[in-house]
Structure 1
Amino acid sequence: MTDTLPSHASVVVIGGGIMGCSTLYHLAKMGVGDGILLERNALTSGTTWHSAAQVRALRHSRNLTRMIQYSVELYSQLEQETGQSVGWIQKGSLSVATNPDRLTHIRRQEALAQAYGINAQSISAEEAKERWPLMNAEDVLGAVWSPEDGRVSPSDVCAALVKAAKKLGAKLFERTGVTGILTDNGRVRGVETSQGTIMCDAIALCAGLWSREIGAMAGAEVPALACEHFYLLTKPIQGIVGNTPTLSDHDNHLYIRDDSGGLLVGCFEPMGKPIAPGVLNESFEFSLLPEDWDHFEPMMIHALHRLPALEKAEVKMLLNGPESFTPDGTFMLGETAETRGLFLGCGMNSVGVASGGGAGMNLAHCIVHGHTAYDLTEADAKRFAPVFNNVEHLMARAPEVLGTHFDIAYPGKQLKTARNLRALPLDKEYHEAKAHMGQFYGWERPLYFDKTAEPVLRFDRPDWFENVRAEVMAAHEQAAIFDASPFGKIEVEGPDAESFLLHVCAGHMARPPGSVIYTAILNERGTFESDLTAHRIAQDHYRLFVGTTAIKRDLAWLRRHSQGYNNVTLTDSTESYAVLGLMGPEAARIVSECGAAAELKKVGYFKHGTALIAGKHVRAARMSYVGEAGWELTCRADDVPAIYAALVAAGAKPAGLFAQTSMRIEKGFCAMGHELDGDVTPIAAGLDFAVRRGGGFIGANALADARARGEVSRMISLTLDDGPAVLLGHEPIYLDGRIVGQTSSCTFGYRIGKPVGLGHSREPLRNGARVKVDIARQMLDATVTIGPLFDPEGMRMKAEDDAKPRSI
């Protein structure tokens, strides 16, 4: 412990749990020699000390898995580096399945493991019993064995990380609570503490359960809430000798391992117990919450079934310790949208120790280099709509998120709590059309229509299959309406609008007013920060359309890069406008009947113009995200009910997000978070044609270097031979027995008549190549296509207004 708080530090880390200690360690490793860590009590005294500390590498994405693989490597070598034991025990993990869908789920995980370089293999119930002799395996159908997983002693890991950091110049201040954060012009400047004030350039907020309140001191939104989390500890029992693998019985919401000769039986029950903000104050140090046997009893019954030896075991305690959860079950990492220099490393969703090594490294990398070591958009601190920071919504959502920890990853699954937070302007009309809704950035969006009952989630052909077919065919043969109103909308105005957008966008932003422009927004590495479509409305006015979930992130990026452009303003107009995509061969007839034929006939492909529909002003952009001719119609939100009613009366059918996604994939259109992310360049994504060659934009030099190295597109389309098969995305692609790629977006292609997908290849694949796709360890034959599967020349969506549908 250093006694005197310095007057300045480059980075102040707040919180002495696994995330804070790991971030301090990695900052020091990256050359931040004056970093300090503030802990209001003692190291690990919040959540970290009572963590079950399991380190299981496999996650649902490559980079989250990569992050935990880094944790495994770090924990296994820390003792050698520091001389401090960390209690690393590598005995593997065993996931059992007691129903067919769980078996499919864990076999899909096994397939993912192969793609991500993790040792995992299917074993029989008998083999699972051999690895866990105390287990009742009578109802076990199969299991997956992962021998390289392990666990650590969380307090010892933190001690080792801090020991190493201090050797490199970092300092630790325990018993130093944060009482305020100093900001100036939207940027952090210092931290007020119980021991004095320290000025700083950046703050890493790793305060676990208390991060939301501390973030508010700096004007930042940190939507995380604590829930009670339980595990049972027994005294030594016969049959536990040495260390055992971690046993995951997710169908019964349980995880089980040895503990000091006894058992640790933990659970993620279907609905947790939230803890209101303020209940756990500064006095909550190495503390626990009261035992709650009534709440734990259903899990205890499951545990007795799986481990009959528990019936005679002597209970040591029912541990009830708080853990923090976010609205979507993934942690928050990176700089906040509201406050420059404030970086989040919190909301760990009960996987803090497993994630902590890699997450701390990435947070430090973000602070030092301005970006994470690899794309972690799914954990970006800016991904949540402000509405999710509402305490009432968090109190409803966090307990459900806890309960979904061990859910089966069914396609189409939606959370049930904290719903109906943001309604589209046509919400009433969609419910009248029996829409099945999904939540995106708080918005309720129609997924499909004509729902007759709540769908039963499954891995085979979904309940909504025929509904979506009807909607796709409506767009293909007649006309359909797709609601794009939740897309973020940003007005860029002023004399410097063009020069600013030429700097931040890689596309052809100098095109004249009346143009529609697709563009990437790149970082200095030449990889995607975002992509968007722009309408150039006037010489000094653009309207940008960004992804539904990207508005907060993209607006923050644009505002931060607008410094130096004094004659440009950025305005979020998302809720002022509605957007309807009218698509299909009957679209021209429909707008004609609604009074807009003359004006819209003049609008060429990737151009926009104004017209009146149902007497209401619209800006119509001739473009298509689904491969059928039509317009995206932007109007004032108040006007959209009248416009929608007129279009429907003229014969247009409403279509949902599932139909749009199916048609997008058939057309080979890439999407952020699927084909595009911070690890992918426009060249690798096959989008280099949309990048201007003159340079002058962020990332131009990196792209030029990539071209010089010979980088080429790695995007492929796939068509499965097996019609009933269901592709979900992330499946490994094999050629001649080796993995050569992975799917990204997948669907059933109704215009193609087979399951289809997009994917990235690791090596060049020829058009027409025959490959195999691993679906839950079943190898199914597929054909590679370079380019779109449907209408590859784009003739349908570029056709004249009166063009007849062409055969496919």
Structure 2
Amino acid sequence: MADVPSHARVVIIGGGVIGCSVAYHLTKLGWKDVVLLERRQLTSGTTWHAAGLIAQLRSSKNMTRLAKYSQELYGTLEEETGVATGFKRCGSITVALTEERREEILRQAAMARAFGVDVEEISAAEVKARYEHLNIEGVTGAVYLDKDGQGDPANIALALAKGARQRGAKVIERCEVTGVTREGRRITGVDWQSEEESGHISAEMVVNCGGMWGHGLGRMLGVNVPLHACEHFYIVTEAIPNLTQLPVLRVPDECAYYKEDAGKMLLGAFEPVAKPWTLDIPKDFEFDQLPEDFDHFEPILERAVERLPMLAEAGIHTFFNGPESFTPDDAYHLGLAPEMDNVWVAAGFNSIGIQSAGGAGMALAQWMDEGHKPFDLGDVDISRMQPFQGNRTYLRARSSETLGLLYADHFPYRQKATARGVRRTPFHHHLIERGGVMGELAGWERANWFAREAQDPTYEYSWSRQNFFDNVREEHMAVRQNVGMYDMSSFGKIRVEGRDAEAFLNYVGGGDYSVPVGKIVYTQFLNPRGGIEADVTVTRLSETAYLVVTPAGTRLADETWLRRHQGDFNVVITDVTAGEGVLAVMGPRARDLLSAVSPNDFTNAVNPFGTAQEIEIGMGLARVHRVTYVGELGWEVYVSADQAGHVFETLTEAGQDFGMRLCGMHMMDTCRMEKGFRHFGHDITSEDHVLEAGLGFAVKTAKPDFIGRAAVLEKKETGLQSRLLQFRLTDPEPLLYHNEPVLRDGEIVGYLSSGAYGHALGGAMGLGYVPCPGEKPADVLASTYEIDVMGTRVRAEASLKPMYDPTSERVKV
């Protein structure tokens, strides 16, 4: 193939809509030597049979930002390239058939207002006026988004490919990548094979846009890309006389979506229990489909005929079953793969590839071009995936659920039901025996709350007070008033050791780690813009060793950040998470309980706040860290896995004399909310400046240069543009979760980054950023604040200091 070059700045593997978008956006940024290789023909995997629904509203601000960008881009592509994309803004309607779904879509509508998306709440009668064919029986509410639309998936991809070609990219079809060459943590080139010949392209970067082939392609490239192909069903009717353009219609309570296309109706399904297909996709799979399974689709069709009676009269022109890839958490994979330094990923789009492709391609291209994320992409960053999640058995089990979760009720605290029990802490069976109700994060089984003796230890989901609300309140108050214990073993533990450990951490982190052995430093890892890449504690274990403790879900990302900035520092970085169990003993009587099981001294004189010490406990040994994420006196007890069971039993037995209560992760969240402690990924992200997050106290600019120092000094000079405030609703009844709009003096100015109920303070609480350029703190607090809960404005108190124990006297007593 004469047009295959011998070298490229980047090789993009996969010619679906995602690969074409990445090529388009890289060339738009001026990149030359961009090569896209497609094993068969462009769009021949999943793109060609996608439904082409293009919606703006997603579950977070930045995902919405990317979706909005996609639909704006598709509106201009045809003019730029001459390729008809079929894009039209026909609007969309989502209807609710239950009160719970109604609350969900009304909360989504409020969120849309906070994100700047036009949305209209409409009644059943108004739905009928806009969609006359719909049977509105049972409709409890609906929302309408006028700028949503639909398009021709294949032509959108071909337009993006043409745009890339026009700016110099080489887009080569029928050219399969068969192998790679590798040096250390870099791919140096790819081997290719066409029908007639083969060759090699040396490459500075590689992008895995392999779609449902992405998992296997990832293995070839040395990276983990957890996704699995599932069967996805839809039907297309014969032409229906006099059928005109209609809004896209979603009826999630019936697992169905509807699209009018060229006088026909398309009915698609996201059924509750999906059919995983395979990871071993046939090599000759091209513009292909899977065998029909009418029995599987029939329950959806039966409800659809009642909901849209004209389907009963329309003949079925096409019954289609095509594979699409799904990830373990229903979010796509984007970014620089943790295992390699020049392998990028854009794959696993969970049936929303068309509406995501424009924004995802733009974001990844900017990331590749600038060397850092253009804004927070934590929702989709490939580094959130744990190594075990590439396991084939796990992926098959989980994908049977994730397809259906797209249209399931998105209740707060909803837990995945499949592929559970993979990662268990040393206390797992102890917690279950005592009523622990398990949730899952990053594969870890964690007790989220504890059921009473006669209570069913399962979740009963709702948007209002759920069945565990009072359990969490009791756990919360036990920690506030007495003593509680909970399992923190899932939190990441990374040892950093070597002769340069102190210097390395002082470069990569904002704190000062030139501290005595046993000192604990609460700190952030910053990016060059002063944004927060990690929120951790660092404990000095010896002259040459530190322990970095991270959130469970970001352990891999945080370890990767350390490795990518290791440079010439002589250090060894080791994940030791599974080596120790951790029990947090928290509350006013925590010192009394520990003193009852250990001969060591837990007084302020020996073990003040922010220090660690080695102790005897029961018949074993442990290390205790005097820190807290719940705002009370307390210690985290680190014990080697072999002695963990003994230490748990020792503390539990002694705790009976103190009325100690076992607690779960939900309690930790409600307590940290009252104390105003930030949660990484929600309240603090890579695009939130550490000073605007209110964490300037943790940054020590007096020390020599560190990543982000210049941005911190600059912000001190120019002033804050926004501040993170804590809110408490004055009405004790409404509940807050996150993304609810924040109104200042009657105008929407932001949204809650997180929310939970403050049981000790008697109301729902949240954290959220409020723009305030040039304002003094007193000016910010002088305003009147409200939170939009399902379209109702609720008065809220606002504070810059923690509303609970603002001076931390309880922590340091």
Q: TM-score of the superposition, structure 1-length normalised?
A: 0.97
25-34 or 366-375, larger mean C-alpha shift: 366-375
- State the distance in 2 between where 1:15 and 1:536 align: 46
The answer to whether 1:553 aligns with 2:557 is yes
Residue type of the partner of 1:794?
Answer: S
| In structure 1, distance between residues paired with 2:385 and 2:153 | 29
The one of 739, 748, 757 aligned to 2:748: 739
1:184 maps to 2:183:
yes
Residues 528, 139 of structure 1: alpha-carbon distance in 2 compared, 3 angstrom cutoff: same
**Aligned counterparts of 2:599 and 2:681: Cα–Cα separation in 1:** 36
Deviations 1:180-213 (A, max 9, x none): 1221112111111103110101111101010110
Q: Is residue 474 of structure 2 the alignment partner of residue 470 of structure 1?
A: yes
Equivalent runs, 1:663-674 vs 2, <5 Å: 663-674=671-682
Q: Distance in 1 between matches of 2:728 and 2:153?
A: 47
Secondary structure at 1:650 match in 2:
helix
Q: Distance in 1 between matches of 2:55 and 2:417?
A: 27
**2-structure distance, mates of 1:308, 1:163:** 42
Q: How far off is 1:735 after superposition?
A: 2.2
Q: CA shift at 1:393, angstroms?
A: 0.8
State the Cα distance separating 1:466 from its structure 2 match.
Answer: 1.1
Match of 2:784 in 1: 770
Task: Tell me the TM-score normalised to structure 2 length.
Answer: 0.96
Query: How far has the Cα of 1:446 moved from its partner?
Result: 0.4
Structure 1: segments with no counterpart, 5+ residues: 800-808
| Cα displacement (A) at 1:768 | 6.2
Query: Which secondary structure does the structure 2 equivalent of 1:382 belong to?
Result: helix
Q: Given the superposition, is the C-alpha separation of residues 395 and 628 from structure 1 closer, same or farther in structure 2, using an over 3 Å criterion?
A: same
1:580 Cα deviation from its structure 2 partner = 1.3
| TM-aligned CA deviation for residue 541 of structure 1 | 0.8
1:254 aligned residue: 256
Question: Equivalent residue for 2:739?
Answer: 730
Match of residue 529 from structure 2: 525
The CA deviation at 1:766 is: 3.2
Opposite residue 45 of structure 1, the aligned amino acid is S
Once residues 599 and 17 of structure 2 are traced to their aligned partners in structure 1, the CA distance between those partners, rounded to angstroms, is 61
Aligned residue for 1:153? 152
Q: Residue 105 of structure 1: SS of its match in structure 2?
A: helix
For residue 409 of structure 1, what is the aligned residue in structure 2? 410
Give 1:600 deviation, angstroms.
Answer: 5.5
Deviation at 1:372, TM superposition (A): 2.8
Q: Give the Cα–Cα distance (whole angstroms) in 1 for the partners of residues 27 and 443 of structure 2.
A: 39
Letter in 2 for 1:159: L
Report the CA distance shift for 1:186/1:149 in structure 2 as closer, same or farther (over 3 A).
same
Per the alignment, residue 244 of structure 1 pairs with 246
Query: 1:131 maps to which residue?
Result: 130
Given that 2:186 and 2:342 are in contact with CA atoms closer than 8 Å, whether structure 1 keeps it comes out as yes
Which one-letter code corresponds to 2:32 in the other structure?
G
- Determine the structure 1 residue equivalent to 2:35: 36
Residue deviations 1:56-82 (CA, integer Å, cap 9, x gap) = 010110000000111011100111212
User: Which whole-Å CA distance do the structure 2 matches of 1:706 and 1:42 have between them?
Assistant: 50
The structural deviation recorded for 1:362 is 1.0
Distance in 2 of aligned mates of 1:702 and 1:81: 38
Q: Deviations over 1:306-345 (max 9, x none)?
A: 1111111011011111100000000000011112211000
For the 8 Å contact 2:600–2:616, the answer to whether it is kept is no
Match of 1:361 in 2: 362
Q: How does 1:162-177 map to 2 (within 5 A)?
A: 162-177=161-176
> Structure 1 residue 597: deviation in Å?
4.1
Match of residue 460, structure 1, among 435, 440, 464: 464
How far apart are residue 769 of structure 1 and its match?
Answer: 4.2
Q: What amino acid maps onto 1:53 in structure 2?
A: G
Q: Measure the CA separation in 2 of the matches of 1:416 and 1:219.
A: 30
> Does residue 219 of structure 1 match 2:222?
yes
Aligned equivalent of 1:716, options 711, 725, 729: 725
Structure-2 residue corresponding to 1:790: 804
| Offset of residue 371 of structure 1 | 2.4
Matches within 5 A, 1:62-461: 62-194=61-193, 195-241=198-244, 243-278=245-280, 280-450=281-451, 452-453=455-456, 454-461=458-465
Q: How many percent of aligned residue pairs carry the same amino acid?
A: 39
User: 2:496·2:546 contact (CA, 8 Å) conserved in 1?
Assistant: yes
Matched ranges for 1:588-627 at <5 A: 588-598=591-601, 602-627=606-631
Match of 1:55 in 2: 54
Distance (Å, rounded) in 2 between the aligned partners of 1:167 and 1:122? 43
Structure 2 unpaired stretches of 5+: none
The 3-state SS of whatever aligns with 1:598 is coil
Q: Secondary structure at the match of 1:510?
A: coil
Output the aligned Cα RMSD: 1.3
Amino acid at match of 1:760: Y
Partner of 1:760: 769
The question of 1:644 aligning with 2:648 is answered yes
| CA deviation profile, 1:204-257 (whole Å, cap 9, x unmatched) | 11010101101101221111000000111001113412x211011111011001
Structure-1 residue corresponding to 2:665: 657
Amino acid at match of 1:373: P
**1:780 match: secondary structure:** strand
Report the Cα distance in structure 2 between the residues aligned to 1:769 and 1:426, rounded to whole angstroms: 48
Which residue matches 2:22? 23
Cα gap change, 1:426 to 1:249, in 2 (>3 Å): same
Secondary structure of residue in 2 paired with 1:140: coil
Distance in 2 of aligned mates of 1:345 and 1:132: 36
Contact 2:333 2:347 in 1 (8 A): yes
Contact conserved, 1:471 with 1:659, CA < 8 A, in 2? yes
Distance (whole Å) between structure 2 residues aligned to residue 344 and residue 256 of structure 1: 31
Offset of residue 363 of structure 1: 1.3
Contact 1:683 1:712 (8 Å CA) reproduced = no
Judge conservation of contact 2:745–2:783 (CA < 8 Å) in 1. no
> Deviation at 1:429?
0.6
Deviations 1:528-586 (A, max 9, x none): 11111011011111011011011111111111211211x21111110001111111111
Distance in 2 of aligned mates of 1:229 and 1:724: 41
* d(CA) in 2 for partners of 1:553, 1:455: 30
Q: How many residues align?
A: 795
Contact 1:580 1:633 in 2 (8 A): yes
Structure 1: distance between partners of 2:86 and 2:654 = 70
Q: Give 1:571-590 correspondences, 5 Å limit.
A: 571-590=574-593
Q: Is the Cα–Cα contact under 8 Å of residues 599 and 611 in structure 1 kept in the other structure?
A: no
| Contact preservation (8 Å) 2:32, 2:169 | yes
Asked if 2 retains the 8 angstrom alpha-carbon contact of 1:248 and 1:255, the reply is yes
8 A contact 1:619–1:635 mirrored in 2: yes
Q: Which residue of 2 aligns with 1:803?
A: none
**Cα displacement (A) at 1:599:** 5.6
1:751 alignment partner in structure 2: 760
Q: In the aligned structure 1, how far is the partner of 2:246 from the partner of 2:716?
A: 51
1:724–1:599: structure 2 CA closer, same or farther, 3 Å change rule? Answer: closer
- Deviation by residue 1:418-448 (Cα, 9 ceiling, x = unmatched): 0000111001110011111111111000000
Contact 1:333 1:343 in 2 (8 A): yes
For 1:101 and 1:381, locate their aligned partners in 2 and report how far apart those are by CA, in whole Å: 32
1:362 and 1:789 map into 2 onto residues whose CA distance is: 38
The residue type paired with residue 579 of structure 2 is: S
